[in-house]
Chain A
Amino acid sequence: MRSATRITRLLNEHRALLMLLVLFAGLSAWAPNFLSVHNMTTILKGASLNAIVAIGFTLILILGQLDLSIGAVVMLCGMLVIGLQPRLGWYGAFPVSLAAGGLVGLVNGWLVVRARINAFIVTLGTMTIVMGLTHLYSDGGSKSIDDFRLADWLDRPALSFLPPIVIITLLLVVGSALLLQGTRHGRNFFMVGANPDAAWLAGLHRDRYLMAGFVLCGLGAAAGGTLFAAGLSSMTSSAVLGSRTLMTVLAAVIIGGTLMSGGKGSILKSYFAVLMLTMLFNGIGCFGLGFEVQIFVNGLILAAVVLYEAYTLHRHELLRGPRPELMEEAERIQNSEFRIQKEASDENTGEGEMSDKNRFALVCVTLVAIVAITAITAMYFRQAALQAQVIAAGRAVPAAGTAAPALDIYALRGTDHQPYLFPPDGGKMQIPARPADPKALPETDKLHWWDIEYAGWKVDKAPMPASPKDGPKGKRVILLKAGDHPYWTAYVRGFTTIAGFYGMDIKVFNGNWNMDLQAQQADQALNEKPDMIIFAPVDATGCTPLLRKIHQAGIPCITSNTTPCDEAMKYCIAWTGPDDWGQFRMLSRAFADKLGRQGGYAIIRHMPGSSPFFSRTFAPITELGAYAPDMKLLAMDTTNLEAEVSMQLVGAWLAKFGTDLKGLILAGDDFPMTGTLEALKKAGRTDVVIVAAGNSKTGMDSVKAGDALAVTYQSAEGDGAIAVHSAARWFSGEALDPVVYLPKHLITKADVDEFMPAQW
């Protein structure tokens, strides 16, 4: 039965490739819109960032070390290459960014090798530091350039269906795999990782290899980050990209068969595993299932691999030693103990062949069980998703039914009993003239923010596809939403209701706040050739090349929620969403009035990398600067919208400024509100005036209780509804304004009850 063991071993050796093939076959057979050349290109392109980062990470694991800083290095180097390009050009920006990545690796290596600190600790520290540096460099915002030539070149198929970015990835992967496996120095890495002492005795300079490993790992992450940024002509500063890259790469490399204990691993197999995970995400997207299923299945696969790894290690340890037959004897006894005497009754297990057979059977049973569990879960999810769709459709139908045939869309009401939509009022916005160079003005000048505040109003649109003018019925619309949040659950609720009203066919992709994932999903959406794409970008500038691509494919697109930058607005018919700047100007005037236009105030900012990070900070600052010049901004900082951090920050502010602090402006009325109220209560302050961006349950409860003065009315359901409603208007041949705002309103104690129950 030796052959059976050999087969198992062979299967395990090539498990990444095997999983990839099985997955490919399965998805080709069942997943809709999966099997096409375009989609294969999408997957290969989507894998490129993680694949390049995985090269260095595999190397570092082979050395028996760990590098948690790769995600942060990806962010830093991507940001650097975009930030430096206008000054240095690509030929200058690339080397500098790569050098920065190598430098982080050098610092990591030095601390591990010279200061002898555990790599986990060192890189955990550098991860925080590098992330801080990235945010410092970008001011918490995104960076972008207007030059799309390189991005276009990277994306356009060069060799049959392979675009250069894929070819570069393949070259890097194959090249480094050959170097690692085919040269003496490369093979030495394995020796150093497997047994450092033996390597030292064999005359290898151990420390040098470790150092080289960390530098190469940093360089790999830098290469991945710079190429990713170049491919999008922009870089986001949302930390999600970094942390998800780290987690996915770690999972992929382990699935690919690299051992965390060092000495074993293969760059090629890591690449297959990255491809497998990308394909899995793509395939699950084809079924229209959400990110929760993707992360769940990802977890299951990793768990199965980790368990199998533990199992083989267990085997290996049992069989080690000078007398294998004795060890096998011992193993049998131990096994019988392990299995609660189950095998003790079986007297005939003395033969080695039999135990081999058992082993093989066990492996088979385990594999089958894992597959079965995965399949059952998948079926369960599929079923649940179908049911959810039925429920969503069911919800839409009675709403439409009650309103009689001559139904009026403006009479439909959401869960908060407010209308989803208001008829377009035809009123024109007053847009001030754009200054020659807004960025040259100080941040406290209103016009400094012209490009963000009035994005889309004055832009010269690229030629847009013509409306079919046959109405919305039966049109296929794909929603690329930014991520998961209760706000977005409500958003999709409004979206589905209105789409159901018009009889549109919709499909939702969830970008999970990750620019890398959303770029892949944009490609995937294009492959499905829908009648319209509604695009809620993860990042205001990072979406530009994606919108260009959608535009080039001739698919009409409406952007929603996050306001894209001016450059991106060129390529979409319209943008719909909240007028964040306008709302916050209104809010700050109410805030100033309540305070008698004097006193000190502080601002809790939104997450870095998001568009409210600026709008909800600088709309109040510029507005109050003009409306209430006596008011003084004491402090502003982000708390990542966490209650606990907000509580600490406000607590520290209260201790520091005491009664000078008269008011607080919060970028969110949920967690920041909870934390702020807690801090105020602890300090025994009831006089502090609070306003916030709304309208969650927490925020409206606080307004009702009198703890907060006002929150803005930003209906999540309305946000979803207005996007799909504008799409319907376009399908009917109506002309749209370039920017369609949700109604502006402040919720105060006087009318808060009208907006209950809260949407989220």
Chain B
Amino acid sequence: MPRHDSGKQNILSAALETAGIYAVAALLLLAGTFVSPKFLTGDNLLEILAAVALLGIVSAGMAFVTYSGSMADLSLPSIMAFSGIIAVASLPLGLAAALALGVLAGLAVGAMNGFVVGRLNANPILWTLSVAFFMEGFMRFAWSNNQLYPDSAPGTPGAAFIGIFRIGVGIHPPVLRTTPLQGGSGTVPLVVVVMFLMFLLAHFIMTRTRFGRESQLVGSSRATARASGIRVPRVVFLNFLFAAFAASVAGIFLTSMNKLGVFYLGQGYDFKAVTAVVIGGVMLSGGRGRLSGVLGGVLVIGLLSNIMQFLGITAFRQNIVTGLVFIAVVGLQQYQLRAKGRDYA
């Protein structure tokens, strides 16, 4: 069924599409207040944000890959581990150089993915899976399965590197000072700030730039995009590059938090990020979705797991609940789309 909506109408309907996930989030917030009086406090809300910050950063990158029709980048966990290891290994060169090299290492893998998927048209899932395989093998071999510790003596770049995750930014969001949310300690972890910045940047790129629009068309229909003169390989390349960039940033934070670099850091972030992206309303078939929705998806995941921890639900049962909520939310979205006659998936 052809779409005729454009302009205002389009913005409105798009906003409605992401409203759903925020409704779920609001529902969870409400449920949380019944679970424990300590739930709706500044400290706990900040805790939830900090808990999903890394997932949020990775998801913002993954969203680009999904949005542009490449479904998922399964090599993101290995990119996270790799950039972390490289950063720790190059700490003797100074903190700035180490961070730059870490991100560059991640970007290199992303560039390879982008080239192969964009230019050579390889199946993205399978290609990134094979990259995950040989990157794991490579990292295990090159560092003989060992952990890489930064030098943690005070004053060294290593200590500064470990501190990255632990920096609190002293901004005082007014919401933390208002009443039911008392008790906010006033400092927001850097990683949370970076997550929001990453979402802002990603949102800006996706909605306000030519590249973002091109990504949408590539995600909707590669053939149409090519026929209308878009350089598809370039667009796909940049999408994978952005995903790798986000994953490297998250990887460096993760490594800094763990105080060591090792090949298995970041495991599981591939499927977790896809979950957040899809729950946030980005279609796996590409070309549809918004980053505000992805942020909502990330928040829902954080709220859900926090509430379950408050309830004392064990990890095994949490898995089951998360899976059920995931399928239910996506099923509802699908149902809504179909009701509007927009079921192209």
Chain A residues close to B by CB (< 8 Å): 111, 115-118, 120-122, 124-129, 131-133, 135-136, 140, 247, 250-251, 254, 260, 290-300, 302-303, 306-307, 309-311, 313-314, 381, 384, 388, 484-486, 488-489, 608, 635, 637-640, 643-644, 647-649, 651-653, 655-656, 658, 671, 674-675, 678, 681-684, 697-698, 701, 760
Contacts and interface: CB of A to CB of B under 8 A. Distances in A.
Contacts of B116: 307, 310
B129 A250 contact: yes
B152 A701 contact: yes
Contacts of A129: 319-320, 323-324
B258 A671 contact: yes
A642 to B, nearest CB: 8
B221 interface: no
B209 interface: no
Given A118-B345, A644-B257, A260 B123 contact: yes
B327 A121 contact: yes
B285 A118 contact: yes
Given A306-B126, A486-B262, A635-B312, A125 B327 contact: yes
Contact of A655 (B44, B147, B259): B44
Given A129-B319, A132-B320, A760-B147, 4 more contacts: A125-B323, A125-B324, A136-B317, A247-B129
Q: Chain A interface secondary structure, helix, strand, loop or mixed?
A: helix
B323 A132 contact: yes
A207 to B, nearest CB: 15
Contacts of B310: 652, 655-656
Interface string B256-290: 01111010000000010011001000001100000
A652 B121 contact: no
A645 B284 CA distance: 27
Nearest to B36: A656
B38 interface: yes
Contacts of B140: 290-292, 295, 484
A684 B185 contact: yes
Contacts of B73: none
A56 B276 CA distance: 29
B47 A126 contact: no
A488 B145 contact: yes
Contacts of A303: 127, 130-131, 134
B203 to A, nearest CB: 23
Contact of A296 (B44, B121, B138, B312): B138
A251 B135 CA distance: 15
A116 B334 contact: yes
Contacts of B309: 648-649, 652-653, 656
A162 B299 CA distance: 54
Nearest to A380: B141
B146 A294 contact: no
B244 interface: no
Which residue among A120, A250, A292, A674 has the maximum number of chain B CB atoms within 10 Å of its CB? Answer: A292
A584 to B, nearest CB: 21
A655 B275 CA distance: 27
Given A132-B316, A639-B315, A655-B310, A297 B47 contact: no
A247 B74 CA distance: 11
A132 B319 contact: yes
A749 B162 CA distance: 23
Given A292-B140, A656-B310, A648 B323 contact: no
Given A117-B334, A652-B310, A658 B38 contact: yes
Contacts of B327: 111, 117, 121-122, 125-126
A296 B133 contact: yes
A299 B130 contact: yes
A648 B305 contact: yes
B214 interface: no
A306 B326 contact: no
A121 B38 contact: no
B322 A128 contact: yes
A638 to B, nearest CB: 5
B254 interface: yes
Give 5 nearest A-B pairs by CB, closest first: A296-B137, A299-B133, A299-B134, A132-B319, A292-B140
Nearest to A388: B144
Given A115-B335, A294-B137, A674 B257 contact: yes
B125 interface: yes
Contacts of A489: 144-146
B14 interface: no
Contacts of A671: 258
Nearest to B148: A486
A254 B126 contact: yes
Given A136-B317, A648-B51, A652-B306, A117 B330 contact: yes
B128 to A, nearest CB: 10
Nearest to B139: A292
Contacts of B131: 299, 303
5 contacts: A247-B129, A643-B257, A652-B309, A652-B310, A681-B166
B133 A638 contact: no
B324 A292 contact: no
Given A295-B136, A309-B122, A639-B315, A124 B127 contact: no
A299 B132 contact: yes
Nearest to A656: B310
B211 interface: no
B133 to A, nearest CB: 3
B145 to A, nearest CB: 5
A627 B340 CA distance: 66
A299 B271 contact: no
A359 B140 CA distance: 37
A659 to B, nearest CB: 12
Contacts of B271: 124
B330 A698 contact: no
Which residue among B312, B327, B343 has the maximum number of chain A CB atoms within 10 Å of its CB? Answer: B327
Nearest to A483: B145
Which residue among A111, A128, A297, A311 has the maximum number of chain B CB atoms within 10 Å of its CB? Answer: A128
A681 B167 CA distance: 12
A256 B51 CA distance: 41
Nearest to B38: A655
Contacts of B129: 247, 250-251, 302
Interface in B167-214: 185
A488 B284 CA distance: 40
Contact of A310 (B122, B330, B343): B122
Which residue among A296, A681, A683, A698 has the maximum number of chain B CB atoms within 10 Å of its CB? Answer: A296
B130 A306 contact: yes
A128 B319 contact: yes
Contacts of A310: 116, 120-123
Contacts of B54: 644
B314 interface: yes
A254 B130 CA distance: 11
A307 B145 CA distance: 29
Contact of B326 (A125, A247, A678, A701): A125
B243 interface: no
B86 interface: no
A488 B71 CA distance: 36
B149 interface: yes
Nearest to A107: B327
B66 to A, nearest CB: 10
Given A116-B345, A124-B274, A313-B121, A136 B316 contact: yes
B234 interface: no
A684 B187 CA distance: 13
Contacts of B149: 697
A121 B330 contact: yes
Interface in B216-275: 254, 257-260, 262, 271, 274-275
Contacts of A306: 122-123, 126-127, 130
B314 to A, nearest CB: 5
B51 A651 contact: yes
Contacts of A120: 71-72, 274, 284
B305 A260 contact: no
A701 B158 CA distance: 15
